[in-house]
Structure 1
């Protein structure tokens, strides 16, 4: 009886020791497994991007560079500097046109280019100068928009490159299924599916950023161009005559059209004055030419020498 009891105690002790060892091993392994961090989001993107994703990343870097360059170059202080506007206004108001042109030639802003082109066409009058300013501003705006167009191109190519990566990933997944004859595991398809989803994500992200900033850049270019053009036209109003008639060219007084201001006694070619016979003689109006406006002014009637007695 004693031996049996002692044998049972030994078995019980061995069982307790075995359970304790298992529990200790489990407790020791649990912190080690918990301490192992999973892959980060960037690591997942890096592993699943491969060649199409690398191309999308390069396109994204180019898009960011274009956006930064736009916000540095397209600014009101650079395209329409307040100092240049005030200097040009002072020179034009003091009628120092040649000095104003010489100063504008040393500037590279949108405002200076627009006003300089208009002043060089001063012989065309106010309307011609305004038209030249509008044409110059439109040409410069088109040049700036062509640089922003690259964002539009990159935004359209991004989803296409993502779709290319998606197709490659699906091809890889189905090829793995064919190799295993249907006996595939989840990890066998994970690589292809990861390639498909990661490239789709990168392509859509590039499209959202590039197309969004393309709209912002285009609106900023139009706003800055309109500001430069309106400021230049405001200075060109100095060449508009006060009566609203065509203004003066550089250094010349306003030009008055013959039919612009009615006067008593003015004769126009369309309405000649009728001759009034007097004492049986035909009279003709004495025609004189006004040196200032080139208008015919009727004077006192005199007997025609043809009908003299």
Structure 2
């Protein structure tokens, strides 16, 4: 009987030991996961704005400000181009036909219904001709003046995108160079007890500014090229439309008699 009691006690002790070990392993696993989550939330999430500014310093803050300006300009130009109806040209032929038939008032009414840059440039030529005291050269000059103003309005603020697209990578590179200098200074201060994590951590933080600079520059440059391409299309359309207006003003009924009288 004493031997059986001893065996039972030993078995119970073994079961309790296994249970304690399992509990300890479970607690260790849970604690380790919590530590990993805590580390990931505090230090590994480098792409949050607060972490970017904290690690990248003032250069990243400047780049973030430039990104806000770039986004504002892009949205502004999208709205402007959309509301201007830059692709609409259906009014050109009816307006030119009215001019060729001598109905300048009817042509002006057609052009006034459209608020596109091309319509405003053509309308300026018709108004100048309706005054009656301007030469054909003066009418062409008025059309060119209004057309230039309309194109200038479309190109407004595009210079901001060009500047942001050019300087953002340079600012990022500057931040990387400064970060590398700081990393090597820390490595030198460590002396013989060099920690590879110290160097690698300094390098990836230094490269962070270059990444942010490229991220800011890419949308700005892409939008700039798209907007400039659209402005070039408007310029060609305006050149064609205004040339047709000038030719129609020469060909309209009574124009030869008026030139002979002069």
TM-score, normalised on structure 2? Answer: 0.72
Which residue matches 2:255?
253
Which residue matches 1:115?
122
Deviation at 1:110, TM superposition (A): 1.6
Partner Cα distance (1:120, 1:256) in 2? 17
Which residue matches 1:152?
162
| Structural RMSD (CA) | 4.2
Which residue matches 1:23?
22
CA offsets per residue over residues 33-64 of structure 1, 9 Å max, x none?
A: 33543234523645433211111111011111
Conservation of the 8 A alpha-carbon contact between 2:249 and 2:255: no
CA offsets per residue over residues 113-136 of structure 1, 9 Å max, x none?
A: 3124423553323x6644643454
Q: Are residue 42 (structure 1) and residue 44 (structure 2) matched?
A: no
Structure having the larger proportion of residues in helix:
2
Name which of 156, 164, 179 aligns with 2:189.
179
Which residue matches 2:32?
33
Q: Are residue 221 (structure 1) and residue 231 (structure 2) matched?
A: yes
Partner Cα distance (1:83, 1:212) in 2? 30
Partner Cα distance (1:229, 1:163) in 2? 43
TM-score, normalised on structure 1? Answer: 0.62
Partner Cα distance (1:130, 1:118) in 2? 7
Question: Gaps (5+ residues) in structure 2?
Answer: none
Which residue matches 1:66?
73
Name which of 208, 211, 215 aligns with 1:201.
211
Q: Are residue 51 (structure 1) and residue 61 (structure 2) matched?
A: no
Q: Does the C-alpha gap of structure 1 residues 47 and 14 become closer, same or farther in structure 2, counting only changes over 3 Å?
A: farther
Conservation of the 8 A alpha-carbon contact between 1:141 and 1:222: no
Q: Does the C-alpha gap of structure 1 residues 228 and 32 become closer, same or farther in structure 2, counting only changes over 3 Å?
A: farther
CA offsets per residue over residues 156-178 of structure 1, 9 Å max, x none?
A: 11011101211221122122212
Deviation at 1:147, TM superposition (A): 2.0
Deviation at 1:69, TM superposition (A): 1.0
Secondary structure at 1:240's aligned position in 2? Answer: helix
Secondary structure at 1:254's aligned position in 2? Answer: helix
Q: Which has the larger radius of gyration?
A: 1
Partner Cα distance (1:64, 1:293) in 2? 58
Partner Cα distance (2:258, 2:103) in 1? 24
Secondary structure at 1:224's aligned position in 2? Answer: helix
Matched length: 249
Conservation of the 8 A alpha-carbon contact between 1:158 and 1:207: yes
